[in-house]
Structures are given as C-alpha cells and as structure tokens.
Structure 1
Amino acid sequence: MGVLVVLGAIVGSHYLRETTAMSDYVRDRIQPARVEAYRLQAALVNQETGARGYILAADPAFLQPYEDGRLDEQQAVETLRGLVRGEEDLIADLDAVEAAAEDWRRVYAVPLVSTVVPGDPRPADPVAVEAGRVAFDRLRVLFDVQNEGLLQAREDGIRELEAVRTNRDTIFASMVAVFLVTGVGMAFLVQMIVVRPLARLREATRKVVAREEFGHHITPEGPADIRALGQDVENMRERIVRELEVSRERHSQLESQAIDLQRSNAELEQFAYVASHDLQEPLRKVASFCQLLEKRYGDKLDERGTQYIAFAVDGAKRMQILINDLLTFSRVGRVSDDHVRVALDPTLDSALGNLAQAVEESEVIIERPEKLPEIVGDPTLLVMLWQNLLGNAIKFRHPDRPITIRIGCERLGEGEQAMWQFSVEDTGIGIAPEFSDKVFVIFQRLHGRDVYTGTGIGLAICRKIVEYHGGGIWLDPEYKGGARFCFTIPAVGDKEPAQDEALEGASA
C-alpha cells in the first residue's frame, strides 16, 4: 500500500504538472500572442492608411496615425516575440511580416511621403501609389498566414491539453481501482491473518473466563504478535489455574478453621455459662461460710485470725467481680448484635443517669455539645462506652483541683469514608504517654487496689466496643491538663433509613 501511494503520488503529480503546463501555454502564451498579432496588424494598417492619406491630401495630420502605428508596431513585435519564443513556425511568420512591412516602408511608403510638399496637394505618381497598394496587399496575405499559424497553435495546444487530461483521468481511475482492489485484498488478509485468530482467541478466553472452563488450553495462532498475545493469555490461564488450586486448598483450610472456631466458640459459651453459675457458686459459699465462721467463732479468734477471714472474704468477692467483668468483656458484640439508628444524646443521658450519685458526690462539671449526631450501632454498648469513659474521669480526679469533663464531637471526611470523632477530656491526674497502649489491655492497672478500686478492664471494654462499631480509640499524648480519650465511629447514620437494613446486614 505504501508503494502504491508513492507511485500514485509521482504519477499524479506528473500529469498534474503537464495539465497545468498545457493550460498555461494556451491561456498565457497563445491567446495573448493572437491579441498581440492583431495589434501588430492594426498598427501596420494604420501606417498604410496614414501614409496614403498624406500622399493624396498633403495634410500633415495624416502622418500622426503613421507615426503612432510605428510605435505600436515596435511594442507589439517585442511582446509577441516574447510570447512565441521557442515556437519556430510562429517566429518565422512574425519575421516574414516584419520583413514585408520593412520592404513596404523602404520601397514605397518612405519615398512617396518624402516627395509630398505639405499644403501642396499635387497628385502623386499613380503608378507608384498602385504599386504600394499591391505591396501592402501581399502584407495582408502574410497577416492571414500569421493568424492561421497562431490559430493552429491554439488548436494543437487544446488538443494536447485534452489528451493530457484524458490520460490523467485514466491514470487516476486506474489508481482508484488499484487502491480499491488493494484495500479489498488487505481487508481479506486482515480478516484471515488477524481477525480470525483474534476471534478464536477471544472465544477461547470466554470459555476460560465466562464459562469457567479453566482446563481449556488456548492454542496461539496467527502472526507473531497475535501468537505472543495468545501465549500470554495461556500463561495467565495457567497461573489462574494454579491460584485457584491454592485458593481451594486455602478455602478448605479456612472451612476447617471455621469449624474449629465454631467449636471453640461453643466451648467459650459453655465456659461463660460455667463461669457465671458453677464458678460463682463455690465463691459465694466460701464468702458465706467465712462470714459465718467469723460470726460464730469471732470471739475465740485473735486479731490475726479475724484478718485472715477478712482476706478470704475479700478475695472471694474480688474473684466474683473479675468473673463478672470478664463475662461482660466476652459478651461485647456477641450476645447483643443490634444495629439500629442511635441518637447519641440519649445514650449519654443514660450513662450520666447511671453515674448520677458519683457525679453528685464529686461535684463534677460536665460540658457537652448541644446536640450529638446519630449513628448506626448498639445502644446498650454505646451507653456502656460513655459510662466507662466518664466513670474513669470521675474516679481518677485530681485531689487539688475541681474536676471538669468536656465532651467534644467533630466530623472527619466526606462520603463513605466519613467518620465522627468524639473526645472525652478531664482535669484529673492524667496518664503518662508511655502507658498510652497499656491502659487498653485487659486487667492492666497503673495503680494499686488500695489507691483506686476496679479490675482494669473498663478501657479494654471501651476499645472492644469502639472496634465493634468500626472505629478506633486512643489516648491523646499531647493533652497535658489531665487525660483525653478520642474515639471514632463511622458516620453511616447520615444515610437514608432505607439503607440501614443493608448496613445491618453488612455488619452482621
């Protein structure tokens, strides 16, 4: 196709140049040459008319057309000679006309004009006058020859121009036909060499991908590029098959692990039941019988014996508290699985109601936003979250300054990634930055039991509740005026109620 385009461009440009050259020859040379020939002939006729009138009438006014004709003749000859350069016949005709005109002037016109006396209209020699007329008639014959030559040159140019145009059109039509045939041939070759192998490759790929016939081998066909593409697709299929085999093995392992996890969860449920009933019952008996022992034999025991009994009772009670806290921790997100639209203001009010006595005794000042947002979550767990955070702030208050608790709320991000960030900050004793991770570990305490009560499970429960709702919780290490806990919860509560069921299903 490239060779055809180059050849077509060369041939087409050649014929276009020839057509243009012939058209320019006829339009810009022959036609103007005919005009100049008529101008030359008119100038000679004017010379003959003026000379003859001066000879007959002896009036000098008749010499002006003669002189003007001489100037027009010179200009016409110069222009005509430039137009017909290279045309020997036309130049010969021009030379013949010029020679005849010069002979006419030399032999007849100039001698007769020189014999005339201005203002003396004596009759000239009739014989000389007639001879001059006959000589100019011969010049007229040369005019006809010159005009015939120019006309013949024009007709020859037009014929050659038509022939060139015919050849050009024939060549162009042939080129179009060749291009069409070549295009059809190329289309056929593309269909056979490219399209059909690609179609077979596409069908084989569909069998592998759409019909999940991963064992179907893809055979590369066609040119080198398409075979390379087919080989790459075949390599991809083989890798997919290998990955599928690995994923099936992993899936089988995951199913086995899921069964083990279900069994473990069932055992944990059984353990929770035992811990809440069977383990607490002996502890209650130990505490009760120790108290009965103290009541009945207290007057017979010394101070150390009474102290031992008190230690046993206290240990039993603390064991019961630890068991209850452990059960509470294990039940977060397992026993209750409610995901509904929750307004956080009522959950905060419920938590403050549960802490009403501690709030009143400590004279705490609580600053809260005018309105907290709505989210999707478990109302009971959210009440427990507020209660643990506020309870810790009240418990670990500073002895030398009044306690103030500030609750903050701000929105982070937009769209599906939007989060609500909450903060609970106090003016208490604070937490050192190096313990910012330790405080969230279950049963980890930073103070002795004789200083602050509790089992060290409250913040672990808070972290489990926040993570259960899809957020995170941390201690702000830059806050210095006490302790500042921050946690985030997804802002899915801003969605339309019709979307809540989908959210509940995704959370479940």
Structure 2
Amino acid sequence: MQIDAVQQDLVTPLPRSAGGWTTRGWLGAGSAAALVVLLVLTGCGAWALAHATDVNKRLTERWSPALIASVRMESALINQETGIRGYGMTGKREFLKPYQDGIAQQRAAAGALQGLAEGDGRATADLARVRERAEQWQAITARPVSEAADPVGSAQQRTESGKAAFDALRASLAEQQTHIEAERQQARHDLQRARTLRNTVFTAIACVVLALIALAFAGLRRGVQVPLERLRADVRRIADGRFEHSIAPSGPADLKALARDVDGMRRRLARELEFSDRARAQLDERATELRRSNEELEQFAYVASHDLQEPLRKVASFCQLLERRYADQLDDRAKQYIAFAVDGANRMQTLINDLLTFSRVGRLHAEDADVSLATVLRRTTNSLGMAIEETGAVLTHDPLPSVHGDPTQLGVLLQNLISNAIKFRAPGVVPRVHISARRPAHGAEGADRRWEFAVSDNGIGIGPEYAERIFVIFQRLHTRDTYPGNGIGLALCKKIVEYHGGTITLDTGHTPGTRFVFTLPLAHADPPAADPEGC
C-alpha cells in the first residue's frame, strides 16, 4: 500500500511557472532601447559633423576665395592705374598692356566675387559699389587717356579728378576686404565652435556607448549570470546527493520556470528514491524470505533424497524377500500384487530422483565454463550405449562447437532429448537421431551471442496442439504402459536451456518425427562471427 501511494504521488503534475518578463523579453526591450539611443546619438553625431562641414565649407569655399578674388580685383585695378599713368606720362603704347590685362583680371575677379557674394546682401552691395567706382574712374580717367590722341595732355588734365576717383575706389576695395575678412573671422570662430561641438558630441556618444555596454553587462550579470550561478550551485548540491535542498527561483521568468522545473524534478527524484528505498527494503525482505524458503526446500530435498527413499527401499526389499521366502505358498495373484508394490516403490524412487534433479537446476553444479558439446555428446552416448545398442539407433551430428554453460546440466539436456528420441520411436523403424548446429540468421535477436541447435528424429512425432503442453512438468501424452516415464524430462530440458539464457521450442513443421530447437550462449573464447550464415 505504501508503494502504491508513492507511485500515485509520482504522477502528480508539477506546478507550472507564472507569467512575467523572460530573458528574451528583457534582451529584446534592452536591445530596442539601446538601438533607439544609438539612433539618436547617430543623428546628433551626423548633425554635428554636417554642421562642422558646412561651416568649414563657408570658410574655405566662400570667404577665403572671396578675399583672394577681392585682392586680385584690387591688384587688377592697380595694374590698370599704373598702366594708364605710364602711358599718360610717356605716350608709349606698351604701357597699355598692363591696363588691358588688368581689365581682363578685373572682370574675372568680379565674376568670381559675384558668385561668392550671392545670397549675402552686404557682400553684394560692396561688390556693386566697387564696380560702380571702378566704372567712374575708368570713365573719368582710364578710357579717355587710353583713347586720346595726346595721352600726356589728357592725363595732365585729369590728374586731380582721376586721383580722387581712384582713392574712392581703393576705399571701396578696402571696405570690401574688411567686410570679407570680418566674415572670414566669423567663419573661423564658427568653425572652431563647430569642431568643439562635434568633439563634444562624439565624446558624449562614446561615453553613452560605454555606459550602454556597462549597463548591458551589469544587466546580464544580475539578470542572467547570477541566477544561473545560483541554479548551478543548487543543482550541484542536489547532484551530490542533497535531495532535500530546495531551489529558490530567481531572475527572469524563464529562468524562474527552469528553476521550478528543476526543483520539481528534484522532488520527483526524491520521491522516486524514497520509493526505490521502500521497494528495495521490501525486496530485501522477500529475498530473505526466499532465502529461508530455499533453505527449507534444500532441507526437504535432503529429506526426500534420504529419509523418504529409505522406506521405499525397505518396502521393495521386504516385498521381494517375502516373495522369495514364501514363493511356494503364494499363488499367482499374490505374486502379482507383490510385483505391483515393488514397481510402485521403484517408480516412486525414480520420481523423487527426477524431482531432485529438476530442483537442482541453477542451484547445484553451477560451474559455468566453456564446454565442448562434442565431448559432452560422447559422454552422453556412452551413458545411453545400452539403449542405442538394443534399438539399433543411428546417431549423427554436425560439427559441434563449444558453448558457455554447466557441463553436467548440458549432459542432462542432451541425454533427455536423445533418450526421448529413442524411446518414442515408430514401431518397426530403426531410430535415427541427428544433432545439427548453426548460427541464427543475421538480424535475429542475440544472433551474435548464441548458437542454435536442433535434435531431430524419425519417431512418432508430436502434434502441434501439444507444443506448449509437453514442456510442463508431469504432462504426459501417453500411458506408462505404452511409454515409460514420469513426464519430467522435457520440463527439465526447458529449465536447463532457460537457465543458460536460451529458448527451446518444438518445430511443428518438421515431419516425420520430432524436432526440438534450442539455443545456447557462445563460448567466451569465441568472438562473434561477422556472418552467421557462414557458420
């Protein structure tokens, strides 16, 4: 009843884990939050980098080229003024070459400044003022002198007005360059601030990334590693045999569920261990009872083999003595009665001896070793020599291998099978007995660890309906008057074969006669064959 209660407890379902955030959920949420933060930081970094690039372009691609173009424009106007003044003083036309080149340079520089100043009102106004005053100077001085027939006189007449116009032009150029330089300085200042902002943003990004890594490491350690270490320590204690130690769930929901499942397994193992201990205790009790019962059976066997047979021997002996001493006073019926009594006593002795032999299988003579069946068969043939000679039986056999078993019991096995084949012979037919040996077909269960033997004869045979009955003790198919015996022989054969780990069956398809098939284990010295069909 206690074992049944424990078995019922073993099938009780374990509690399932409650809901909550699992490790996957925490990792997913943390990864999503980290991804959002990284995207924001990436946007900030991209903006800071773009802003620094824009300010740098404003400095390097606008105001610095604009200052250079303004200086070139100033140089071109100075070249024009120098050329006009030289031409006006000497009248030599080669002095017009700097003036003409300066006009081309002025136009190029003005075109460059116009493109660079686009979008800036003050720069556009400065350029317009410079162009206007350059045009005034050129209209007052440069063109009239360069086109005059008397350049010296024309230059002398326009000296004062030309100087004033050119001074105004130079003032406009200086003002333009001052404004451009101021823009350049502002752009430089903005670039420095943009670089500082960029460095700050990227430093902040690096710090946030490091913080995220540290946070992830701390979260994984606290949420996963620490609970797993606790669970591992608890499992190690249980593995060391401390099944009473319970596991406290901790960490995310899935780790808690794992801890609960492991704890449930611990409880189940504890219950199964308790069950096995109880079962072992009961088995020990039953083993003790069986040991006591076997001792009593051995005592009974001793009594049966000695004390029970002694009265039988006395009955048979005194009956025979009575017959001899009073033979002349006994009639035929009295002699028949005495014969019945002697025969009954002899059959009782034979039955007791057979029962003792049956009970000793597996208990006595258990000297398992590698046994040559050919040697066992020769001994058995010698024991049955009289029966073989009287019936003229022909005994043949295949080459017999060695097997592992008890030589005494294997001899009893062969003796019973061969003697049955000779005993149950057909009237008027010479008994022919053949013992075959082979390895079972490849793929058969245990084929690599056993031999298969068969004892065939040409006797009266056994009907298929009796295939199981003949191996039951005291089961006979014929009367004692027809065929003598006690009905123990085949039961004894089955017990011997099963003791050796084999099986014995009746081949119901064999005709004429009878064929018994049984298996025995390989000798330990023989390696398993790779191809059983070749044996």
1:283 counterpart = 2:315? no
Question: Contact 1:12 / 1:172 at 8 angstroms: preserved in 2?
Answer: no
Matching residue of 2:203: 169
Alignment TM-score, normalising by the size of structure 2: 0.66
Matching residue of 1:153: 187
Matching residue of 1:388: 416
d(CA) in 1 for partners of 2:113, 2:378: 119
1:404 counterpart = 2:434? yes
Question: Contact 1:364 / 1:394 at 8 angstroms: preserved in 2?
Answer: no
1:327 counterpart = 2:356? yes
Secondary structure at 1:24's aligned position in 2? helix
Matching residue of 1:423: 453
1:458 counterpart = 2:489? yes
d(CA) in 2 for partners of 1:389, 1:97: 135
Question: Contact 1:368 / 1:408 at 8 angstroms: preserved in 2?
Answer: no
Matches within 5 A, 1:335-346: 335-342=364-371, 346=375
Of 510, 513, 519, the residue aligned with 1:487 is 519
Secondary structure at 1:364's aligned position in 2? strand
Q: Deviations over 1:321-362 (max 9, x none)?
A: 221111111111212232445455544554455456666732
CA spacing shift, 1:298–1:108, aligned 2, 3 Å: farther
d(CA) in 2 for partners of 1:172, 1:109: 61
Q: Deviations over 1:283-322 (max 9, x none)?
A: 3344444445555666776766655554444333322222
d(CA) in 2 for partners of 1:136, 1:446: 149
Of 26, 32, 44, the residue aligned with 2:61 is 32
1:366 counterpart = 2:397? yes
Secondary structure at 2:306's aligned position in 1? helix
d(CA) in 1 for partners of 2:135, 2:365: 139
d(CA) in 2 for partners of 1:474, 1:29: 107
d(CA) in 1 for partners of 2:141, 2:374: 138
Question: Contact 1:404 / 1:427 at 8 angstroms: preserved in 2?
Answer: yes
Matching residue of 2:19: none
CA apart distance, 1:485 = 1.4
Secondary structure at 1:278's aligned position in 2? coil
Matches within 5 A, 1:342-357: 342=371, 346-355=375-384
d(CA) in 1 for partners of 2:461, 2:106: 126
Q: Deviations over 1:15-64 (max 9, x none)?
A: 42343233322445533335643674477468658977799649899968
Please give the root-mean-square deviation of Cα atoms over the aligned residues, in Å. Answer: 5.5
CA apart distance, 1:447 = 3.6
d(CA) in 2 for partners of 1:283, 1:318: 10
Structure 2 residue identity aligned to 1:154:
R
Structure 2 residue identity aligned to 1:326:
L
Question: Contact 2:246 / 2:263 at 8 angstroms: preserved in 1?
Answer: yes
CA apart distance, 1:153 = 0.7
Alignment TM-score, normalising by the size of structure 1: 0.68
Matching residue of 2:23: none
Question: Contact 2:380 / 2:411 at 8 angstroms: preserved in 1?
Answer: yes
CA spacing shift, 1:188–1:366, aligned 2, 3 Å: closer
* Deviates further, 419-428 or 56-65: 56-65
CA spacing shift, 1:281–1:96, aligned 2, 3 Å: same
Secondary structure at 2:187's aligned position in 1? helix
Secondary structure at 1:336's aligned position in 2? coil
Matches within 5 A, 1:106-505: 106-108=135-137, 123=151, 126=155, 127=158, 134=167, 137-138=170-171, 140-141=173-174, 142-143=176-177, 145-166=179-200, 169=203, 173=207, 210=241, 253-292=282-321, 307-342=336-371, 346-355=375-384, 361-368=392-399, 372=401, 375=404, 377-393=405-421, 395-396=423-424, 399=429, 403-410=433-440, 419-426=449-456, 428=458, 430-475=461-506, 482-489=514-521
CA apart distance, 1:169 = 2.8
d(CA) in 1 for partners of 2:437, 2:50: 96
d(CA) in 2 for partners of 1:480, 1:117: 148
Of 2, 18, 21, the residue aligned with 2:50 is 21
Secondary structure at 2:487's aligned position in 1? coil
Question: Contact 2:72 / 2:109 at 8 angstroms: preserved in 1?
Answer: yes
Matching residue of 1:12: 41
* Deviates further, 455-464 or 92-101: 92-101
* Deviates further, 318-327 or 289-298: 289-298
Matches within 5 A, 1:70-85: 70=107, 74=111, 77-78=114-115, 80=116
Query: For structure 2, which runs of at least 5 residues remain unmatched after alignment?
Result: 1-25, 88-92, 528-535
Matching residue of 2:20: none
d(CA) in 1 for partners of 2:171, 2:471: 134
d(CA) in 2 for partners of 1:405, 1:81: 122
CA spacing shift, 1:63–1:348, aligned 2, 3 Å: farther
* Deviates further, 124-133 or 310-319: 124-133
d(CA) in 2 for partners of 1:24, 1:446: 114
CA spacing shift, 1:72–1:308, aligned 2, 3 Å: farther
* Deviates further, 231-240 or 459-468: 231-240
Question: Contact 2:453 / 2:517 at 8 angstroms: preserved in 1?
Answer: yes
| Identical amino acids, percent of aligned pairs | 35
d(CA) in 2 for partners of 1:93, 1:133: 22
CA spacing shift, 1:437–1:70, aligned 2, 3 Å: farther
CA spacing shift, 1:38–1:245, aligned 2, 3 Å: closer
d(CA) in 1 for partners of 2:411, 2:74: 129
d(CA) in 1 for partners of 2:64, 2:509: 106
d(CA) in 2 for partners of 1:9, 1:17: 12
d(CA) in 2 for partners of 1:273, 1:286: 20
* Deviates further, 67-76 or 439-448: 67-76
Question: Contact 1:418 / 1:491 at 8 angstroms: preserved in 2?
Answer: no
CA spacing shift, 1:35–1:432, aligned 2, 3 Å: farther
Structure 1 residue identity aligned to 2:409:
L
Question: Contact 2:497 / 2:520 at 8 angstroms: preserved in 1?
Answer: yes
Between 1 and 2, higher relative CO (CA 8 Å, sep ≥ 6) is seen in 2
CA spacing shift, 1:50–1:419, aligned 2, 3 Å: farther
